[in-house]
Amino acid sequence: MKYNFKEIEQKWQRRWADQKTYNVTEDASRKKYYVLNMFPYPSGAGLHVGHPLGYIASDIYARYKRLQGFNVLNPMGYDAYGLPAEQYAIQTGQHPEITTNANIARYREQLDKIGFCFDWDREVRTCTPQYYHWTQWAFQQMYNSYYDTELNKAQPISKLVEKFRTQSFDGKSWDELSEKQQSDILMDYRIAFLGETMVNWCPKLGTVLANDEVVDGVSVRGGYPVVQQKMRQWCLRVSAYAQRLLDGLETIDWSDSIKETQKNWIGRSEGAEMEFKTKDGQSLTIFTTRADTIFGVTFMVLAPESELVGKITTSERRAEVESYVAETRKRTERERMIDKKVSGVFTGNYAINPFNGKEIPIYVSDYVLSGYGTGAIMAVPAHDSRDYAFAKHFNLPIIPLIEGCDVSEESFDAKEGTVCNSEFLNGLSVKAAIARTKEYIAEKGIGRVKVNYKLRDAIFSRQRYWGEPFPVYYKNGIPQMIPEECLPLLLPEVDKFLPTETGEPPLGNAERWAWDEASKAVVECSLIDGKTVFPIELYTMPGFAGSSAYYLRYMDPHNDNALVGEDADKYWQDVDLYVGGSEHATGHLIYSRFWNKFLYDIGVSCKEEPFRKLINQGMIQGRSNFVYRIKDTNTFVSLNLRKEYDTTPIHVDVNIVQNDVLDIEAFKAWRPEYASAQFILEGGKYICGWAIEKMSKSMFNVVNPDMIVEKFGADTLRMYEMFLGPVEQSKPWDTNGIDGCHRFLVRLWNYAEKAVDDREPSKEELKSLHKLIKKVTDDIEHFSYNTSVAAFMICLNELTALKSTNRRVMENLAVLIAPFAPHIAEEFWEMLGHDTTICDAQWPVLNEEFLKEDSIKMMVSFNGKTRFQMEFPADADKDTIEKTVLADTQTEKYLDGKPVMKVIVVPGRMINIVHQK
RNA sequence: GCCGAAAUGGUGGAAUGGUAGACACGAGGGACUUAAAAUCCCUUGGGCAUAGCGCCUGUGUGGGUUCGAGUCCCACUUUCGGUACCA
């Protein structure tokens, strides 16, 4: 019988679905293993061959763990809120939910064809009320919590209120404060809070824009002006967790590079906060990591957004300073980054150096950021390149502080050398000087040691429609949480997905979007009376809201009473293996670690770190093909002849090219303008050029997994994706090589059909089999699936050469290949007479005995140059080998009378004889 | 600029400090066939031989450690990711 992959794959996929083979339940008698893929955003383009790479890799691991007896949770779902569906809705009026569900259906269809062992009963979609109920719930928990810096964990806000009851606020007790005042004070502590943050605000579009949506100060969409503006936004106090996010990295098994990326992102720096007095008696606090350079401070700089600017500026300079601040406000952060022209303005005021009493001019410049440190710096042009550029531009003095450094051309930024020009610090190393200065400022009460983090609080609101609504309404401008028992607060229907005419977010279009406190229900906006009916928050949550705790929801996806039930959480604990792209290093992987730490603090998650081991799959790049058109003609010249002509390379659809040979007829039919194309061929063929590029429609290099499955089968696709190269490495997709994997499966099929022999396996068969067991087991543990695929091919060749027809060998082979090619493995399993699925089989146990050789062949080399081979009994020891080889006649020939200095014997590998040359 | 990863045949890629190029693709040759497809066999880093079946050379560049380096150390070049005035 021929290997009919289509029939086999359909049969098993149907059976797995019907029998719910991969559904799991909490089973205390078995050890758990939790495998997780970063869930996809279902885009309209569907999956290309790059997407399933990580899913296949984790599927192999999940199946392997299952064969080893683990109770494996391997769920899948969809990150369903997102901009593309909303944009499509704006253009067509089609509700994003319809688009999203259609895309999900298409994704599911594509995924199902590849034969994953997902437990689809646990599917989650972030846009369903059953799911976002718990996103809203978590937000409310964050609102009702503050970060206790002594206990170093989140605590109920009520504890903080208790504490405040014992304190006085400008002579008033807590209870004497107005509701508004209390709310404002607590807002500074809540983990989810309303804060004033700088955003790119586009008044015309009525929305906040991301940095890459703004070019040259105008919006990409529409070209409307964008300004930097402080806006009231929901924020998450991620920064409170900065140190724990840093410390947690030490406890998890992630690659060093991704840990490094997160460390840089968190950006811990130890320094000092120092207070400077101005000439007119005001105070100015700065942050520095180079306290040792205090004697080289020749000016101070404030960020334009700093509140101090207004206070410190003298009346003569006010007009100029204000115009500078207004100017910077028009520029986006991105513009300020790209255009690094030095700019700034003098405030007219001076600060006093607390160390030597010198007067230092205070400037305002946009190279100082308001969001970091205190928004003010002491400038040391000799030892900071930015200060140096500023000093040169404004002709300010530059005082070198390191012996022998040259600052005539550029600053000396390195933290090394011996300090000079610094009074009591002279002669110390930089390190010692930093330490000494810190002591000094503490003694004199000038400042204190301070740790700063780059990590900012996350802005948590968006002016969009397609996202989780905030379960919040406003009573006299004070936010109120919708009662927990009323969750989820459903996303309302709107007739337009754009901002309203008055510039409100899209939810402003909803008619029913007011909260009736009395009946605890959503009601018509027209009923708002300020007594019992109030407006509901119009913002929605950002994309990362729904993706920050989905791994917990998978543990208990149908629980209507909790995000995750205690039993389910105790059983599944955390994700053992997480697979996804490294592009999420500073987004999702930070947010969900933060989110999980919070849930850990409030006792919802039993593990502080959600993802124990992380594997970052590489990107699959596209391999584009080109044809070469001779300029101003419709004639195309083959790759190697193109130098003789003046040609333009044109992308050609990779699906009409095979092994770089163009299918000329298909090409003519591809586009009407090519119907009459002429060709200059080489050897009767048209050879295309190629390049590695991003896989995208515009490059015509997108390869679709359905097409591959149709042509070669899912098992071939799975094997080939793994065979392409290491999972973690980026590599180009080249459909050409897939034949090799398909041929292997055909040969394996033919081999399996002949495996009917019930006798004991021979020594050679066992050796070949156990070599494979060892290799595949090792490889799966280390995620080097590409060499496993090779090992299968080698093993099959060996067994074919042995003319093996042994059923027991075949049985083992079927189990070993099951993680990689599950459909064909199931078919083998059935052919071998089993009536259960192969998922219930046992992973073969390695017996090292079978791997032993009768004799060992060893290479003999002289001074590192290999010369000949010798054979020894398998149990020969080093001494015997050394004696035998030295007594050998060939050795004598190569030594040619020269004395032997040393003999190095590497057991089982080689012998190196070192002699005089 | 800073941080990270990498560089091996025509291509994708193998090699616990121990015979570099496993495995696969492509290419070339052969068998089978009226023919093609499919399948099978041989060759395939480069150079010189091939009557001597062996020799020389070779893992981005230059040094070093070692009996022995693709692998370890130092310096450099290039490529790809991430990040960007973080004081």
Q: Give residue-wise pLDDT tens across range A853-865.
A: 888 888 888 887 7
Least confident window among A190-204, A475-489, A552-566, A651-665 = A190-204
Least confident window among A223-227, A758-762, A864-868 = A223-227
pLDDT > 60? residue A334: no
Confidence band (pLDDT; 50, 70, 90) for A22? very high
Give dist(CA A830, CA A826) in Å, integer: 6
pLDDT above 90 as % of chain A:
70
Within residues 307-346 of protein chain A, the ones with CB less than 7 A from nucleic strand B are: 333, 336-337, 340
* Residue A651 near residue A695 (C-beta atoms within 8 A): no
* Residue A368 near residue A387 (C-beta atoms within 8 A): no
Is the CB atom of residue A778 positioned under 7 angstroms from any atom of strand B?
A: no
Residue A749 CA to B19 C1' — how many Å?
35
Is the CB atom of residue A141 positioned under 7 angstroms from any atom of strand B?
A: no
Strand arrangement of the beta sheet that strand A458-459 belongs to: A207-209, A192-202, A227-236, A458-459
**Counting beta carbons within 10 angstroms of the beta carbon of residue A81, is it exposed (0 to 12), middle (13 to 18) or buried (19 or more)?**
buried
Residue A405 CA to B48 C1' — how many Å?
58
- Nearest nt to the CA of A683 via C1' is B27
pLDDT > 70? residue A215: no
Residue A835 CA to B77 C1' — how many Å?
62
Is the CB atom of residue A583 positioned under 7 angstroms from any atom of strand B?
A: yes
pLDDT at A915: 82
Strand arrangement of the beta sheet that strand A865-873 belongs to: A865-873, A855-862, A910-915, A900-906
Is the CB atom of residue A886 positioned under 7 angstroms from any atom of strand B?
A: no
A471 compared with A682, residue with greater pLDDT? A471
Residue A187 CA to B87 C1' — how many Å?
29
Arithmetic mean of pLDDT over chain A: 91
pLDDT at A140: 98
Within residues 417-456 of protein chain A, the ones with CB less than 7 A from nucleic strand B are: 452, 454
Give dist(CA A354, CA A378) in Å, integer: 12
Is the CB atom of residue A363 positioned under 7 angstroms from any atom of strand B?
A: no
Nucleotides of B strand lying within 7 Å of any protein CB atom: 3-5, 11-16, 18-20, 22-27, 39-40, 55, 67-69, 80-87
pLDDT > 60? residue A102: yes
- Nearest nt to the CA of A908 via C1' is B18
pLDDT at A224: 75
pLDDT at A218: 67
Is the CB atom of residue A737 positioned under 7 angstroms from any atom of strand B?
A: yes
Residue A370 neighbours by CB distance under 10 Å: 17
Is the CB atom of residue A734 positioned under 7 angstroms from any atom of strand B?
A: yes
Is the CB atom of residue A503 positioned under 7 angstroms from any atom of strand B?
A: no
pLDDT at A804: 87
DSSP class of residue A28 equals T
pLDDT at A116: 97
* Residue A849 near residue A142 (C-beta atoms within 8 A): no
Residue A256 CA to B73 C1' — how many Å?
21
Q: What is the pTM of this model?
A: 0.93
CA-wise closest residue to A652 among A625, A629, A671: A625
With distances taken from each CA to the C1' atom of nucleotide B68, the closest residue turns out to be A864
What distances in angstroms separate CA A460 from CA A200, A728, A739, one per listed residue?
A: 15, 32, 49
With distances taken from each CA to the C1' atom of nucleotide B17, the closest residue turns out to be A906
- Nearest nt to the CA of A744 via C1' is B24
Tokens representing residue A71 in the block: 């109770």
Give the tens place of pLDDT for each residue, A850-893: 988 888 888 888 887 777 888 888 888 888 888 888 888 888 87
Q: What is the mean pLDDT of residues A555-564?
A: 97
pLDDT at A876: 83
pLDDT at A226: 73
pLDDT > 60? residue A799: yes
